[in-house]
Every structure is written in C-alpha cells, then in structure tokens.
Amino acid sequence: MKKNNGSQNREAYLIGTRDGVPIALGYFAVAFSLGIAARNIGMTPFQGFLASFLNMASAGEHAAFTSIAHHATYLEIALVTLVANARYLLMSCSLSQKYPESLPFYHRLLSGFGITDELFGICIARPGWLNPFYLYGAFLISALAWSSGTALGIIMGNLLPARAVSALSVALFGMFLAVIIPPARKSRVVACLIVIAFLLSYLAGVLPGIRNLSSGNRTILLTVLIAGSAAALFPVKDETEADHDAA
C-alpha cells in the first residue's frame, strides 16, 4: 500500500533527525567556543542563541562577531557575512537539482536557509529525489545544538576565570585550522593560496593607506582579490574536462 504524503514527510523528517544527531554533537562543541567570542563582544545568551540560529555558519558568524568587535557598520557586517557564506549559494543551486520540478517554491526557500556544509553533504548523498523534510529534520536538531552551544559558551564565559575564557577563545581558531589543513595537504595550489592569504592579511594590517580601512572592508577586499585571482589562474576542472584530459 502506497504511503500518503504526510506519512512520507514524517518518515523523511525522522530519518533526517537521526542522521543529524552526529552533526549536532559536533556543532555543539564548536559553537561553545563561538559563544566565548560572542561573550567577548558583550552579547547576551539570548542574542547569541538567536544569532547562531539565524546564521548557522561558523566562518560567517565569526566574521560577523569580529566585525562587531571592531565597530563595523551594518553594511560592512552584511558584506563580510555575504562573502564568508557565498559558497552556500552554490550549494543551494546544486541541492535544488535534487528536488522535483513540482516542489513548491517555499520549500526551496526554506532549504536554502537550512544549508550548511555538513547538511549539504548528507542531503546530496541521498539516492533519488530529496524530500525537503529530510533536510528540515537534520537542520532543526543541528540548529538547536549550534544555538544552544553558543548560548552556553556565553554563560560559561561569564562564569569562568578570565584566563580560562582566553584559552577557550583559541579553540575556535583550531577549528579553522582543521578546515584548511586537509585540503592544503591535498593541493599545493591551495597550500600556497593559504600562505598568500596569511601574508596579505598581515600586510593589509600594517601598510599605510589600507591599514586605515576597517577590518571588515579589508576582509572583503582580500577575499574577493584572492578568490577571484585563484579562480582565474587555477580554475577547477569539472569531471567532463578531467576525463577528456585523461583520455
């Protein structure tokens, strides 16, 4: 007997929730360190919870918190967050191909809001058409863990000694190292670009003229410059081009 849409959606939601549990556990641990950063700029636990729920992206959220700490304008914060999270535009386009054409627009819109690197990975790996409720289940449990971790980090940051807070603040940078080291080991181009990014970031902070720009504007300029130059000089070949070259 064929299941009705309600039963299919419920089953997909529960499976998504189950698959999202490991992601949620990882998010909670990382978000705790992010909460320390939020605490350092004076955010309350509720503000941290809301910020993390509405912007569930570690790099984008950390960039926003850093911009706030440097008293950036609303426009600068919006731009630096957009640049840091730009990859999700591509993920949304890719994930939309997993949906049937008859799927209502609001499901596509909600799916775009709920995409992260890890959630995109488990969704794109699903065989056949994707039921959006699978993503909703995985997103909700992950978002609650991410937001709760941020709020708890703020609370604990207010209770822990200053030295402990300072030590925990370093943990977030460890997460970024975990993000950049694996691809750098696989690609010399990526490794060189990372070194160049570090060098240019340092120079932008000390050279006359550009150092007078806010940190948000410097981040935007460097990101666009480095990413644009890398895309032009070292384009990534798609599978068709790679197969053709191999032949």
What per-residue confidence (pLDDT) applies to 156? 83
What per-residue confidence (pLDDT) applies to 134? 92
What per-residue confidence (pLDDT) applies to 215? 61
* Six-digit token string for 139: 């997103």
pLDDT at 171 over 70: no
What per-residue confidence (pLDDT) applies to 2? 46
What per-residue confidence (pLDDT) applies to 138? 92
pLDDT digits (tens, 9 = 90+) for 210-242: 777 766 567 667 777 887 788 788 876 654 444
C-alpha 176, offset from chain centre: 11
Stretch 138-151: mean pLDDT: 92
| pTM for the predicted model, two decimal places | 0.66
What is the C-alpha separation between 10 and 232, in angstroms, rounded?
Answer: 45
Half-sphere exposure for 28 (CA within 13 Å, toward CB): 13
Stretch 48-66: mean pLDDT: 85
pLDDT at 139 over 90: yes
pLDDT at 64 over 80: yes
DSSP secondary structure of 136-181: HHHHHHHHHHHHHHHHHHHHHHHHS-HHHHHHHHHHHHHHHHHHHH
pLDDT at 107 over 70: yes
pLDDT at 1 over 50: no
With contact defined as beta carbons under 8 Å apart, do 154 and 43 qualify? yes
Q: Which residue has the tokens 């977030």?
A: 172
